[in-house]
Chain A
Amino acid sequence: MTAVTGNNAQHPAQTESRSRRFRLTALCALAACVVSVAAACLFGPVDIPAAKVFSLLWLKLSGAEADRADVAATLVVWDIRLGRIVLSLMVGAALGMAGTVFQGILRNPLADPFTLGVSSGAAFGASLAIMLGVSATLPLLPFVGTLPAAAMTGALAALFAVIMLGRSGGRLRRESLVLAGVVIASFLAALISLVKSLDEESVASIVFWIMGSLQGRGWRECALVLPWFGIGCLLIWRFSRELDILALGDTQARQLGMNADRVRLWLLIGASMLTGASVAVSGVIGFVGLVVPHLMRMAQGGEHRPLLVSSALAGGLLLLWSDVLARTILPEGAELPVGVVTALLGGPFFCLLLRRRMREDGI
């Protein structure tokens, strides 16, 4: 009984340091993002001196007219590099957040944004578009292009199918969701193979697209992602508190007065918007949505609000620098798919951490 009162004194200090530490980490990560965005503009096949890059960025940001002589350099730095960098940051953040949500609602640390077949749906939509020819633009969305639109449609259709299949008796159980996701994903994988075998000419571009790349993407794609990104983030943030309660299981969630099925559906929609938009513009970039939330959870525990913030920032940073690597590592302007880079970086790192953790746990 006496032990109870023993360490009462230390808790106010602990709280403060904990929330302050989180705020500090978040601020540092945010600063790192800003610095990274600027720094990443330095890399590229065209050789532009650092001072010039920064002065061009500054000119553009302050709204001043660029020098006529610098039109080409402005095009490279602002339109080609910065657009792509901002996109990589957004896609990385979206995947990091979506991964956090999927791991939370499925209560499975091995879930990622693609567990429920959203990526397969997008890949199938894209494959179909590639087979039928990508040159056409849509009448309603002339600036978007067929490929992202087809991928987004495929992603949402797959999600819809998974939800319909996973519903039983008006309830949305995580077990049936995962099962439905696996079924839909393998069915769509078969359809993709069918498309590939029907049209051998398009195999290379389908494979390249599925591996995930940001090559040639820029502000246009940013504009495509932004609305989905915004709505998805708002939805997820609105239900982030509920995510903590869902982590305790349905029974307790409902005893605490939460409509678990409805909350899960909203979170699913929010996370799928983020995933669908990411996949639509950049293909299937693996590992970000799996590794980043996992690492952040190891570092700071399972509370979802801080987890979402740090996963978004860390995911954005990871993809940004992976993309820099992807576009600079090969000579003469050749590019690796960024999905390959993230998997190459993330895989071994993840294994290392897992091994260390297993040793710490004494398993």
Chain B
Amino acid sequence: MINLRNVTCGYAGQPVLRDVNLTVQSGEMVGLLGPNGSGKTTLLLTLSGVLPPISGEMLLDGAETSALSPAKRARGIASVPQRMGEQPDMEAFSLVLMGRYPYISFLGGYSAEDRDIAAKAMQLTSTAHLAHRSALTLSGGEFQRVLIARALAQQTLCLLLDEATSGLDIARKVEVFRLLHARHAQGTTVISAIHDLNTAALYCERLVFLKQGRIVLDGPVQDVFTEQHLTDIYETRIHIVSHPVTGAPQACLSPLACMPEKHNG
């Protein structure tokens, strides 16, 4: 369970998120949505423990995260970063093996078991065939899946993803979300910033909307994924239809009206 209580956080003392209160139960699958610059990445960095809150407290299973050692924290929470500036010139397998770093002892190296776990994580993300390619030569989508494999190799009870599927084509995106959903079904907590509203509505149970550094909406998909809410948050007219198979709400843009009606009249 993750608890944020009155958390304000940001960079160099400048708050980006203000007074965030958020509780995520173990095993939940949460989509983090909001316009650009609303603070999704900042929230995920705070949740991963990299960005300590300016004020307020963050608890992981009841323990203050800032009091945990980095390795202990990384055994509880794994992150898939948004994108990296430059892909390193290292084998993909070595990158995935880094997911085992929080488990190695002071003088010990990666064990055979660590290698097995890393290889298995690569199979799960269908990147096993890339294992001995340099990450420098991978496409953006392949590299993103390697990073997801690394997070899986960390074997944590909580996964944080920052637009992890943004570089992937539709089939890969579905593949990744099925994988996340399967993890979720096994009890892993998944918190994912998602740009694509419809993917979020299809796979998540709960959506948290951020806007201008505050949580403006939080609840089960059916309750919060409504025309009124989305139109207000994104300041664009959005229509909701039902998914033909699952019945999940799906957002549609209308080509002409670009501002919500209430602003016009």
Residue numbers of A with Cβ under 8 A of B are: 1, 4-8, 11, 14-15, 18, 238, 241, 244-245, 247-249, 251-252, 254-259, 297, 301-303
Contacts and interface: CB of A to CB of B under 8 A. Distances in A.
Which 8 A-B residue pairs are closest in the complex by CB-CB distance? A257-B74, A257-B102, A302-B89, A257-B71, A255-B79, A14-B132, A301-B89, A257-B70
Interface stretch (B42-50, B180-188, B238-246, B254-262): B42-50
Contacts of A15: 93, 131-132
A11 B107 CA distance: 29
B171 interface: yes
A244 B81 contact: no
A358 to B, nearest CB: 16
Interface in B68-107: 69-75, 77-79, 81, 84-85, 88-91, 93-94, 98-99, 101-102, 107
19 contacts: A4-B129, A6-B129, A8-B128, A11-B131, A15-B93, A18-B91, A241-B109, A245-B101, A247-B90, A249-B84, A251-B50, A251-B81, A254-B50, A255-B81, A297-B89, A301-B91, A303-B90, A303-B91, A303-B94
Contacts of B66: none
B38 interface: no
B101 A257 contact: yes
Interface of B: 45, 48-50, 69-75, 77-79, 81, 84-85, 88-91, 93-94, 98-99, 101-102, 107, 109, 126, 128-129, 131-132, 134, 136, 154, 171
B81 to A, nearest CB: 6
A258 B70 contact: yes
A6 B129 CA distance: 8
Contacts of B132: 11, 14-15, 18
A6 B93 CA distance: 18
Contact of A256 (B74, B84, B131, B136): B74
A252 B146 CA distance: 14
A18 B94 CA distance: 13
Contacts of B101: 241, 245, 256-258
A297 B77 CA distance: 33
Contact of A8 (B49, B85, B129): B129
A248 B50 CA distance: 14
A244 B79 contact: no
Nearest to A238: B107
A254 to B, nearest CB: 5
A254 B73 CA distance: 9
Contacts of A297: 89
A164 to B, nearest CB: 21
B203 to A, nearest CB: 19
A244 B50 contact: no
B201 to A, nearest CB: 24
Which of A241, A248, A259 has most B Cβ within 10 Å? A248
Which of A241, A248, A255 has most B Cβ within 10 Å? A255
A270 to B, nearest CB: 15
A210 to B, nearest CB: 34
A170 to B, nearest CB: 11
B177 to A, nearest CB: 15
Which of B45, B88, B93 has most A Cβ within 10 Å? B88
A255 B50 CA distance: 7
Contacts of A301: 89-91, 134, 136
B90 A244 contact: yes
Nearest to B100: A256
Given A8-B129, A11-B131, A303-B91, A254 B98 contact: no
B105 to A, nearest CB: 12
Contacts of A258: 70-71, 74, 101
A15 to B, nearest CB: 5
Given A18-B132, A303-B91, A257 B171 contact: no
Given A244-B98, A303-B90, A254 B49 contact: yes
A256 B94 CA distance: 13
A252 B82 CA distance: 11
A255 B84 CA distance: 14
B176 to A, nearest CB: 13
Given A248-B84, A257-B75, A301-B134, A7 B94 contact: no
B114 to A, nearest CB: 12
Contacts of B107: 238
Contact of B70 (A238, A241, A259): A259
Contacts of A8: 128-129
A110 to B, nearest CB: 15
A247 B88 contact: yes
A257 B73 contact: yes
A283 to B, nearest CB: 33
A257 B150 CA distance: 13
A60 to B, nearest CB: 37
A297 B89 CA distance: 9
A254 B81 CA distance: 12
Contact of B171 (A1, A254, A259): A1
Contacts of A252: 79, 81, 84
